[in-house]
Amino acid sequence: MVNTVAIFGAESSDLQSKISSSIAKKRALDTLNKAKLFLWQQKYLSTTIQQSMLNESVTHTMYSPVCYLEVNNAGNRVDKTVFSSNYLQVMGNGNKKNELVENFSSGSHKWQKLSREDQKKIRLYLDNEIHSRMSANDSHSVRVREMIQKIANLDAILGING
């Protein structure tokens, strides 16, 4: 009977070690498969990005909308200002802004009235901005909203296309 207990203990111990090593191998294989999947997805993403990008270093012209404003003040003084979007970082430099003001005021551009389609788009955007920022319905807010819409006379705005 003593031999049976010793044999059972040895076999049980051997079986337990084989089960433990099998579990460890399975976990290692699962980890390797997850790492392989991650690396494959990373390579696929990198390839997709590389295929969608232009790898050229070519000088070219880029366009961005800006607003050039001339205001006639008392004493026949004309103030000239350029407004641009925040993402246009080159405009942050005062020299570039002054250069652009001089370019606009030089008279070398053909200024023309905005097309009806452009006026319609600007009016839609302006109305959305006014209503989102001035949602109150008190009499003061209504008057301010109406005054902004009167001031924004899109028929008097001139633009340069292209």
CB 36 within 8 A of CB 43: no
- How many domains, the chain? 3
Please indicate, yes or no, whether residues 76 and 44 belong to a single structural domain of this protein: no
Please indicate, yes or no, whether residues 92 and 119 belong to a single structural domain of this protein: no
Please indicate, yes or no, whether residues 160 and 132 belong to a single structural domain of this protein: yes
pLDDT tens column, 15-36 = 888 899 999 999 999 999 999 9
Please indicate, yes or no, whether residues 49 and 4 belong to a single structural domain of this protein: yes
CB 134 within 8 A of CB 126: no
Question: CA-CA distance, 130 to 148, in Å (whole number)?
Answer: 8
Domain that holds residue 96: 63-109
pLDDT tens column, 65-117 = 778 787 877 777 778 887 777 666 655 566 777 777 788 777 777 888 888 88
Alpha helices per DSSP H over 53-115: 94-105
CB 66 within 8 A of CB 91: yes
Please indicate, yes or no, whether residues 77 and 97 belong to a single structural domain of this protein: yes
The pTM of this model reads 0.44
CB 123 within 8 A of CB 157: no
